[in-house]
Structure 1
Amino acid sequence: MGLVAEILRRRDDRYRLAQLRFDLEDAENEFRSKVQEQKLGRGTDAWDRAYFDYDTRREFVYAQIDEIETRNAIERARAWRVPIPQRPISEEPVYDDQYWSWSNPHGRYYLTDEGKLLLRREANIEMEMLFKPWLSWGALAISVISLTISALKL
């Protein structure tokens, strides 16, 4: 049951990520249509309020995307025993580093694109180290089997 639950969770995560990306597009379209319909000029109070609403919604959606992607990257790294970069110790957003960035809507650190790339690259290296010997033995076994079959046909 654990395998099925994991597959379903990953499916739900992929679906949620797609929905969140559509939400980003919808938020931008709503902002642009509001600006055009109400003929809001840049720098006016109404435009500033509309942009603030758009930016707040966009930040919240990005925080949800980062939460899902960070969780998936860390789970994959743990599964392959890849060292995860240490989070900044302080709860202050001033201490962002190259692998972690502070999320204001959720109030915690999430992996940056560079951090996700590092974990993905390291996990792929671990996978390659595990499967490369098996692939060479598999190629050798196929060669021996084909040689045996050709020798038996003679």
Structure 2
Amino acid sequence: MHTGLTRLARWIREESELRSSEAEIDHLRRTYDPRIKAVTRPPWNERQALLAELFFELEFPESAIERIRTDRAIRRCRRYAIPIPDKPREGEENQDWNYSQIAGHLLTDRAHQRLRQEIAVERKMIREPVLAWIAIAISAFSLVVAIIS
């Protein structure tokens, strides 16, 4: 029971953080987009400076979202005993991990996709025997009802 409450509390905390990060991203885009679009003539230095500033400001909320996505993927992998790709050394990247100065190592989109596929295979392997036994139980129950009637 305690783990269920812990999981629920973690999920609520993560969802709250996701929503606040997404709201912050929306706010930043609404703030910067008109200023960026207002620069319509050369020199483009001002536009480039605004874009750089926007990308810098977006890094923290986007990293928070990616950290939650990565943590959730790792938890699901552990639940189904799916091997998690090895992290490279601090500050390095590989095909499965990107490095963020804010959030540390984060799974790449490619790694997320591969892990989702592996999780789906595991769930299917667990679900199919259960469904087969449910079908057998329903058939046996139907037979008993037919014999009694």
Aligned residues: CA RMSD: 2.0
Q: Which amino acid aligns with 2:60?
A: F
2:144: which partner in 1? Answer: 148
Q: Which runs of 5+ in 1 are unaligned?
A: none
Q: Structure 1 residues 113-122 or 140-149, which shifts more?
A: 113-122
TM-score by length of 1: 0.83
Alpha-carbon shift at residue 22 of structure 1 (Å) = 2.7
Alpha-carbon shift at residue 118 of structure 1 (Å) = 1.7
2:117: which partner in 1? Answer: 121
Distance 1:43 1:19 in 2: 36
Give me the identity figure in percent.
Answer: 24
**Contact 2:24/2:61 (<8 A) preserved:** yes
Q: 1:121 to 1:43 in 2, by over 3 A?
A: farther
How many residues are aligned here? 147
Distance 2:36 2:108 in 1: 32
Alpha-carbon shift at residue 45 of structure 1 (Å) = 4.0
Local SS of the residue matching 2:105: strand
CA-to-aligned-CA distance 1:49-70 (integer Å, 9 cap, x gap): 3222211111222111111111
Q: Which amino acid aligns with 1:21?
A: E
Local SS of the residue matching 1:30: helix
- 5 Å-filtered alignment, 1:2-151, equals 2-36=3-37, 39-41=38-40, 43-89=43-89, 91-93=90-92, 96-106=93-103, 108-151=104-147
Q: 1:12 to 1:151 in 2, by over 3 A?
A: same
Q: Which runs of 5+ in 2 are unaligned?
A: none
